[in-house]
Amino acid sequence: MATGCKYGTHRVIDPVGAMPQTARRIDNDMSKVYDNEILLDVIALNVDSASFTQIEQEAGHDVEKIAAKILSIVAERGKQQNPVTGSGGMLIGKVARIGSALKDRDLKVGDKIASLVSLSLTPLKIKKILKVMPEVDRVLIEGQAILFESGIYAKLPEDMDEGLALAALDIAGAPAQTAKLVKPGDTVLILGAGGKSGLMCCYEAMKRVGPTGRVIANIRSERYVKPLRDMKLCHEIVMVDASKPVEMLNAVLAVNKGKEVDIVINCVNMDGTEMSSILPVRDGGIVYFFSMATSFTRAALGAEGIGKDCIMLVGNGYTKDHAEITLWELRENPQLRKYFEEQYVK
């Protein structure tokens, strides 16, 4: 077979010239595997939280309708890319074939891997949906997918359940970026602190701020108070609806001696939370939008509208060594690992 573009543009159908992620439709014909592609037999899709939440709400929480919606998206687009949020998720699968140009990879047929690139750019064909698991945003399937030459992946670790590894790797960019951003003495606000990415970011932030810093966890439900307290993942908790920015600001000021914070990390899986991230941060501070529900237009114009001079970072799901950093967090914190096993391994 011929060698394709390392970034996958040879699979783009509409519009021609687009990148696979921004394309409306890509070629998911699995009968042809280019010399620089890897063919996977897919076991499970971990749909990103913002996307799954939107699909679930549209489907009225009916698992059959959720399955039908996912099948229709993949049939129409050749990939799992939510047309509303634009986001995808990631997958686990077994290597079925390795293109001849990639034979030097530390990979062999039969290896079980997790993709670390978004489903929103991954050619995917679903033969059958076996099970929808709304409690963990996961869909078990029979199907196949393609990883491009540029696509990154991680072999599933042997010392943990694949469901646990999948849950962690799905949000690996967030805690790894937190590790890069947070410095000793910083005050950090984490929105959506009760979810997977929020908990991992809290843990990483607590490690980084040291004895002179503070971590403030924002949650919406009382049920997250106990795990945050029991695992000592924050100094303060503010229970505020993240879609209400003035309430968020006032709550943060109340627990932070009237001061704005240095860094805000947004892990909320619903839209309308941009200003709750921007209002509480100081001028010159950093806002990291990990949530794929973020409107960057609203964020940019909202910050301008209140005269807030802050650095706003797009939630890139990849940073160097992010898989290793995130899996290591579970290894070094038995309480966090046990909680993830109880909540996300089904």
Hey, where are the domains in the chain?
Answer: 9-156, 173-344
Q: Can you tell me the distance from the alpha carbon of 122 to that of 27, in angstroms, rounded to the nearest whole number?
A: 10
Does the pLDDT at position 1 exceed 80? no
> Can you say whether the dihedral through the CA atoms of 93, 94, 97, 99 is positive or negative?
positive
Residue 99 has pLDDT above 90, yes or no: yes
Whole-number Å distance between alpha carbons of 223 and 61: 21
Task: With CA atoms as reference, report the closest residue to 285 among 246, 322, 312.
Answer: 312
pLDDT-derived band of residue 291, with 50, 70 and 90 as boundaries? confident
Pairing of strands 261-266, 281-289: parallel
- 8 Å CB contact between 111 and 149: no
Q: What is the pTM of this model?
A: 0.87
With bands split at pLDDT 50, 70 and 90, how would you rate the model's confidence at 284? very high
In angstroms, how far is the first alpha carbon of the chain from the final one?
A: 40
Residue that has been written with the tokens 């209400």 in this structure: 244
- Nearest 5°: phi and psi at 6? -60, -25
Answer whether 154's CB lies under 8 Å from 85's CB: no
Q: Could you tell me the pLDDT band of residue 344, with boundaries at 50, 70 and 90?
A: confident
Please determine, for residue 207, whether its predicted confidence score (pLDDT) is greater than 80.
yes
Topology of the domain covering 173-344? Rossmann fold (3.40.50)
What are 224's two structure tokens?
């997250």
**Residue among 169, 196, 208, 195 at smallest CA distance from 324:** 169
Both tokens of 124, joined, read 């995917």
State the pLDDT at residue 49: 87
pLDDT for res 315: 83
